[in-house]
């Protein structure tokens, strides 16, 4: 598990889980990431700081979570502006897609 | 010094590399690369050996992949490869044009149609916004493959000049490095428009654009509606389809040295299945700039063939005699080491082949 890298960042402490197919694109990335973030967008900002480019894989330039990606917060599908609370479980998943 | 001949293959399920020596008789294959993303185009820099692969994944969006060790390791980037917030996001990269000389940019064409440049070999990208600022852009219509910028042609000496081809917007030319553009479609038909409107300023369904070697003013264009040649940089086009079995096809590949030699793979027509005519595969070649055509079939399957060949899926190499290559929608890869006279199937059962390019390295 990766721990928060910047102790000055405030916000609820949450755990983000990344899918294997995303981790394969970013050597060194891990399945479970502990970080502090007040929204899904902030959590993705943190991921992008750790593994540059990861935001572009989860979000498009609208900006929005990509059509075939899903982010769940405590079991509920969430948008970028969804708030996080202390202990939230943020799960990034690929949706059913492809051919 | 030995010669390594590489075929760079983009498919619906990743990139592949085939390799041979200058005899081009025996080929080895490696791949799939790029995490099996759909890869629309793979192109290499003969000076450095760097290879880029452009595509887009339904989950993760567009990116340009890069390898500096001929496929052993890859990285990807889409840093800067984006339109402004609120615009329709980029779905995929469709075409790549490596720098012809050190210091020149790498270009990428994308879907929905637009042009990007990288001045650091693909690490970061910058929008060449002049193309999408063109006043005709609101009227560009997507073709069957989407609104894609699939052909990038650069002037060999004048870095400011480039041509792009967009389905379905037509051919555009810039003389100032991409700041301003003009449509260059005069003489090409749009049979899908009402009678009397068949020669518009833009909106033609160009399928492939290629420049003759050593003659920057000579362009060839396979169009949805005809086969054309221009001798003035695309200002005026002339039909060269007489003698072909069909005016419909996707790819066009120029000879590495002879500006009068061109290879096509005509298909049976836009409403007839878009497969090879009469169920028999053939490459068609002109040696006189399109005045006459000859079919080349030796070694190609001549019965029950129902594949097509897509717009970027035919290429030549720079050796003498020139090699010619094409990949089919059914995942077969064919090669000729003698300018198309004889053909060999060097791979079957690949994913749908979207693009074929060559990279010849002396090392």
In order of start, what are the domains of chain A with their CATH numbers? Answer: 13-94 (3.10.20.30)
Report pLDDT for A96: 82
pLDDT value of residue B363: 76
Q: Which residue of A has its CA nearest to B84?
A: A61
Using CA atoms, how far apart are residues B220 and B59, in angstroms rounded to an integer? 36
CA distance A23 to A4: 18
For residue A68, give the nearest of B59, B79, B83 by CB distance: B59
pLDDT of res. A3 = 64
Distance, in Å, from the CA atom of A27 to the CA atom of B76, rounded to the nearest integer, reads 11
Statement: residue A99 has pLDDT above 70 = no
Instruction: Tell me the pLDDT band of A1, cut-offs 50, 70 and 90.
Output: low
Residue B185: the pLDDT is 98
Q: A10 versus B336: which is more confidently predicted?
A: B336
pLDDT score for B238: 98
Record the pTM. Answer: 0.96
The whole-number pLDDT of residue A9 equals 73
Please report the pLDDT score of residue B332 as a whole number: 98
Nearest-angstrom CA–CA distance, A41 and A37:
8
**Neighboring chain A residues of B14 at a CB cutoff of 8 Å:** none
Please tell me the predicted confidence (pLDDT) of residue B206: 97
Give the pLDDT confidence of A39-62 residue by residue, as tens digits: 999 999 999 999 999 999 999 999
Core vs surface per residue B331-356: b (16+ CB within 10 A) or e: bbbbbbbebbeebeebbeebbbbbbb
A20: nearest CA in chain B?
Answer: B35
Q: What is the pLDDT of residue B49?
A: 97
pLDDT at B143: 86
Chain B residues near residue A62 by CB distance under 8 angstroms: 85-86, 89
Domains of chain B: 3-362 (2.130.10.10)
How far apart, in whole angstroms, are the C-alpha atoms of residue B348 and residue B358? 19
Q: Please answer yes or no on whether A98 and B58 come within 8 Å at the CB atom.
A: yes
pLDDT of residue B246: 96
Residues of A within an 8 Å Cβ radius of B: 21-22, 24-25, 52-53, 56-57, 60-63, 66-69, 94-95, 97-98
Residues of chain B with pLDDT under 70: 1
pLDDT over threshold 90, residue A10:
no
């Amino acid at each position: 598990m990766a721990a928060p890298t910047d102790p000055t960042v405030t916000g609820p402490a949450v755990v983000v889980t990344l899918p294997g197919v995303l981790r394969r694109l970013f050597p060194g990335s891990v399945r479970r990431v502990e970080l502090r973030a007040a929204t899904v967008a902030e959590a993705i900002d943190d991921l992008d700081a750790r593994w540059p480019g990861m935001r572009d894989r989860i979000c498009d330039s609208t900006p929005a979570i990509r059509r075939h990606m899903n982010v769940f917060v405590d079991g509920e599908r969430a948008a970028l502006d969804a708030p996080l609370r202390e202990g939230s479980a943020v799960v990034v998943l690929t949706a059913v897609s492809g051919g | 010094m030995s010669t390594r001949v590489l075929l760079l293959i983009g498919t619906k399920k990743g990139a592949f590399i085939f390799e041979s020596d200058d005899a081009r008789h025996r080929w080895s294959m490696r791949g799939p690369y790029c995490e099996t993303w759909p890869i629309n185009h793979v192109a290499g820099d003969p000076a450095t050996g760097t290879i880029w692969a452009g595509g887009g994944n339904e989950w993760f969006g567009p990116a340009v992949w890069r390898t500096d060790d001929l496929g052993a390791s890859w990285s990807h980037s889409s840093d800067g490869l984006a339109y402004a917030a609120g615009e329709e996001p980029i779905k995929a990269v469709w075409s790549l044009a490596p720098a012809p000389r050190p210091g020149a940019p790498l270009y990428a064409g994308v879907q929905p149609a637009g042009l990007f440049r990288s001045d650091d070999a693909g690490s970061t990208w910058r929008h060449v916004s002049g193309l999408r600022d063109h006043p005709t852009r609101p009227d560009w219509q997507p073709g069957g493959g989407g609104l894609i910028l699939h052909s990038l042609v650069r002037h060999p000496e004048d870095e400011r000049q480039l041509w792009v081809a967009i389905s379905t917007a037509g051919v555009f030319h810039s003389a100032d490095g991409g700041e301003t553009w003009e449509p260059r479609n005069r003489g090409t038909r749009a049979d899908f428009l009402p009678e009397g409107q068949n020669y518009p300023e833009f909106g033609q369904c160009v399928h492939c654009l290629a420049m003759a070697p050593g003659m920057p003013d000579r362009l060839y264009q396979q169009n949805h509606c005809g086969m054309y040649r221009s001798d003035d940089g695309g200002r005026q086009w002339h039909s060269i389809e007489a003698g072909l079995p069909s005016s419909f096809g996707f790819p066009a590949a120029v000879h590495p040295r002879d500006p009068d030699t061109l290879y096509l793979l005509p298909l049976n027509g836009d409403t007839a299945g878009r497969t090879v005519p009469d169920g028999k595969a053939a490459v068609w070649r002109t040696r006189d700039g399109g005045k006459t055509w000859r079919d080349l079939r030796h070694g190609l399957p001549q019965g029950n063939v129902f594949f097509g060949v897509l717009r970027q899926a035919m290429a030549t190499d720079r050796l003498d005699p020139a090699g010619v290559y094409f990949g089919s929608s059914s995942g077969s890869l064919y090669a000729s080491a003698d300018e198309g006279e004889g053909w060999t199937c060097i791979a079957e059962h690949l994913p749908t082949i979207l693009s074929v390019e060559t990279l010849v390295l002396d090392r």
